[in-house]
Amino acid sequence: MRNIQYREALREAMQEEMRTDDRIFLMGEEVAEYNGAYKVSQGMVEEFGARRIVDSPISETGFAGLGVGAAMYGLRPIIEFMSWSFCLVAADQIINNAPKMLYMSGGQFGCPAVFRGNNGAGGQLGSTHSWCVESMFSSVPGLKLAVPSTPRDAKGMLKAAIRDEDPVFYLESERMLGLGARGDKDFSRYLANGKWAPPSYEEDDNFVIEFGKADIKKPGADCTIVTAGRPVHFALDAAEELEKEGIDVEVIDVRTYRPLDIETIVNSVRKTNYCVVVDQSWPFASVASEIASQVYERCFDDLDNSIIRVNNDDVPAPYNRTMEQEMLPNARKIAEAVRSVTYNS
């Protein structure tokens, strides 16, 4: 498996797709001359030119709308938001236009656009920059929602998103952009002890990860943890801690909230009989609420306790680092939830 960072995986996905399809272009704030605010698009303007790597002003409504129009016209736009926290000014384009276009036009116009950017707390950026938006956007029919957690998933899922005929809402994290396949918070310790062995990192240009296919990041028998994105790493840390206490958890990375692979979740809960759901949205009407509801509908007779949800605290993100970290889901909170639900607290 190659050792590339999460940001490099995103870049490779866009480069490989753009080399084979000249309808694809990237637009967003500082994606060209500055190489992307977080260097995700480093070197791409030199390779593809300013007509395909397009710097935009700070105008989310404008460039999101341009993307919708370009997709209707037959192009394949990738629209980058520096932070999803500012997407509300473009919500009419993303929620009210892109996913409805096929229906509203009677099938005459699709909208194969990718809207991608950073979601959640970036590290003391304050509440206006640290919002997790998945609960709002995952309720919209017609909009697919991807939440990759590893460099390999980031690449395979972004390539799938670019090729998709529907609009895709693609959630990254500033806190994961430097994540390496074998570096900090990678899965080397799980690889080393044989607990989790990811498939080899394919170099084929056709390497894609199909939407709606969850990945069992760590198999286990005592409790199911369902999550996606950055919290996958918190869940794996919790799993490592719990193993010292004799609690063997199964960590399921759903990878896409829309479509949701409920079958894999249900099969796991029927095996373990306990379930904890983790996501970074606020607790009221969260993604975790929806997943828990679906598990109750299908597994009520299999559950030996109520499902516990672990979300962000129900407050705006604080600037203070200690308070910000405490607001988020973390390994301690997840471990406590598992102990509680399995009657080991």
In percent, the amount of the chain with pLDDT more than 70 equals 92
Let me know if 60 is a catalytic residue. yes
Q: Higher pLDDT residue, 302 or 37?
A: 302
The domain at 215-341 falls in which architecture?
Answer: 3-Layer(aba) Sandwich (3.40)
pTM greater than 0.75 (yes/no): yes
Does position 166 have pLDDT exceeding 80, yes or no? yes
Task: Tell me what the mean pLDDT of segment 293-307 comes to.
Answer: 98
Catalytic site residue from 129, 233, 250, 324: 129
Determine the pLDDT at residue 180: 73
> Is 184 a residue whose pLDDT tops 80?
no
User: Is the pLDDT assigned to residue 9 strictly greater than 60?
Assistant: yes
Rounded Cα distance, 319 and 121, in Å: 10
Count the neighbouring beta carbons within 10 Å of the beta carbon of residue 51.
Answer: 9
pLDDT at 289: 97
CATH classification for the domain delimited by 6-176, as one of 3.40.50.300, 3.40.50.970, 3.90.550.10, 3.40.640.10:
3.40.50.970
pLDDT for res 85: 85
Q: Does 129 participate in catalysis according to the annotation?
A: yes
| Largest pairwise CA distance in the chain | 59
User: What confidence score (pLDDT) does residue 202 get?
Assistant: 52
pLDDT, tens digit (0-9, with 9 covering 90-100), for 229-284: 999 999 999 999 999 999 999 999 999 999 999 999 999 999 999 999 999 999 99
Residue 50: exposed, middle, or buried by beta-carbon count in 10 A (0-12, 13-18, 19+)? exposed
CB-based contact 152:198 (threshold 8 Å) = yes
In this predicted structure, what is the pLDDT of residue 234? 93
List, by residue range, all CATH 3.40.50.920 domains of the chain.
215-341
Q: Would you place residue 107 in the very low, low, confident or very high pLDDT band (cuts 50, 70, 90)?
A: very high
Does the CA dihedral 326-331-332-338 come out positive or negative?
Answer: positive
pLDDT band at 87 (very low <50, low <70, confident <90, very high): confident
> Is pLDDT larger for residue 183 or for residue 227?
227
Higher confidence at residue 180 or residue 260? 260
> Per the residue annotation, which of 60, 174, 250, 324 is the catalytic one?
60
On the question of pLDDT at 153 being above 70, the answer is: yes
pLDDT at residue number 181: 59
CB-based contacts of 212: which residues, under 8 Å, 6+ apart? 256, 259, 260, 261
Res 2: pLDDT: 64
Sequence ranges of the chain with CATH classification 3.40.50.970: 6-176
Q: Would you state the pLDDT for residue 29?
A: 94
pLDDT greater than 70 at residue 214: yes
Question: What average pLDDT does the chain have?
Answer: 91
Residue ranges of E strands in the chain: 24-28, 53-55, 76-81, 114-118, 144-146, 168-172, 215-218, 223-227, 249-253, 256-258, 275-278, 308-310
| Other beta carbons less than 10 A from residue 207's beta carbon | 17
Q: Residue 198: which pLDDT band, with cuts at 50, 70 and 90?
A: very low
Gap between the Cα atoms of 107 and 315, Å rounded = 42
Which pLDDT value is given to residue 271? 98
Tens of pLDDT, residue by residue over 308-321, are: 999 999 999 999 98
Percent of the chain past pLDDT 90, that is, above it, reads: 79
| Per-residue model confidence (pLDDT) at position 190 | 46
Specify the pLDDT at position 201.
52
**Type of residue numbered 268:** S
Average pLDDT over residues 197-226: 82
Mean pLDDT for 109-124 is 91
